[in-house]
């Protein structure tokens, strides 16, 4: 990253709070058959869940069924297993620490599947859908994530670019749409939601990215993993955190290997990036 974004506190963070409560206070404390009293400590979410149970729509029933089905699987686990899953949840949602620490490894769906096959399948179905065009969080019972995201984007652009068109910090080249545009840039998951559970609705793991970076280059690339091109072995590495309060200076060097500029071919141009003390981050 060429520069960082300024994180903003916003109503949209409530969706991650809902996720935190459901995972840590409902599923990880599963005892006895499920009932609505499990939400007593979070009256707002309890009211929402009650309304969803009465909503016959597919999206509402998906959410209700997922919460109950996953709770049922957690009931089968021992105390130590629940404690371990709670730890994994908190690690996967501490995106800043995952970027700074090259020894802290988040759990992925592949590893989760080996330990808890049914739970892994249910969690992937649930978390994959929490953020997207068919998210149950778009329902009026939740306050409509889609509408709240528009408000978040406007506040975000105002904070980071004074409301105007900005520059994508990931490539440093392409524009980020300002508040005078009718469309929004897509929010990209820094830690890929397809590979890692728990953080698909965490806005510390979501950042606006230009269309070129999001659709052509980033895709499902994992910035916190280095994959050897020959052995395919993966090792944890550091990465620039999009909302870091640290500052760094990246040096870009362009080398032209032909003095005949009019006939210069792209293979005769090399671009190198460097940043003092940030080798792993640059490679990411």
pLDDT tens digits, 37-72? 999 999 999 999 999 999 999 999 999 999 999 999
By the 8 A CB rule, do 89 and 198 touch?
yes
Tell whether the model's pLDDT for residue 104 goes beyond 70.
yes
Tell whether the model's pLDDT for residue 79 goes beyond 80.
yes
For position 230, what pLDDT does the model report? 67
70 alpha carbon, distance to own chain's centre: 21
pLDDT tens digits, 115-170? 999 999 999 999 999 999 999 999 999 999 999 999 999 999 999 999 999 999 99
CA dist list (Å): 32 to 83, 119, 132, 187: 17, 18, 33, 39
Task: Mention every residue, 6+ apart, whose C-beta is less than 8 A from residue 273.
Answer: 250, 251, 252, 253, 282
Instruction: Find, among 180, 175, 151, the residue nearest to 163 by Cα.
Output: 180
Tell whether the model's pLDDT for residue 36 goes beyond 60.
yes
């Amino acid at each position: 990253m060429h520069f960082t974004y300024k994180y903003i506190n916003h109503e949209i963070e409530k969706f991650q709070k809902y996720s935190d409560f459901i995972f840590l206070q409902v599923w990880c404390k599963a005892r006895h058959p499920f009932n609505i009293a499990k939400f007593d400590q979070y009256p707002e979410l309890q009211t929402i869940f009650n309304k969803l149970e009465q909503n016959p729509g597919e999206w509402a029933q998906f959410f209700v069924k997922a919460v109950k089905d996953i709770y049922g699987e957690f009931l089968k686990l021992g105390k130590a297993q629940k404690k371990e899953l709670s730890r994994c949840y908190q690690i996967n949602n501490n995106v800043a620490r995952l970027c700074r620490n090259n020894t802290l490894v988040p759990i992925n769906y592949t590893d989760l599947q080996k330990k808890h096959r049914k739970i892994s399948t249910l969690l992937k179905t649930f978390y994959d859908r929490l953020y997207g065009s068919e998210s149950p969080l778009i329902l009026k019972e939740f306050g409509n994530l889609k509408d709240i995201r528009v408000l978040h984007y406007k506040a975000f652009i105002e904070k980071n670019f004074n409301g105007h068109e900005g520059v994508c910090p990931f490539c440093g080249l392409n524009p980020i749409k300002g508040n005078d545009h009718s469309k929004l840039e897509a929010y990209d998951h820094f830690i890929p939601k397809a590979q890692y559970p728990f953080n698909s609705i965490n806005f510390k793991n979501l950042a606006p990215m230009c269309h070129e970076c999001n659709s052509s280059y980033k895709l499902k690339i994992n910035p916190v993993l280095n994959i050897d091109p020959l052995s395919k072995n993966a090792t944890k590495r550091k990465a620039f955190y999009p909302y870091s309060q640290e500052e760094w200076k990246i040096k870009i060097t362009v080398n032209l290997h032909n003095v005949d500029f009019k006939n210069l071919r792209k293979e005769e141009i090399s671009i190198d990036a460097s940043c003092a003390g940030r080798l792993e981050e640059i490679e990411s």
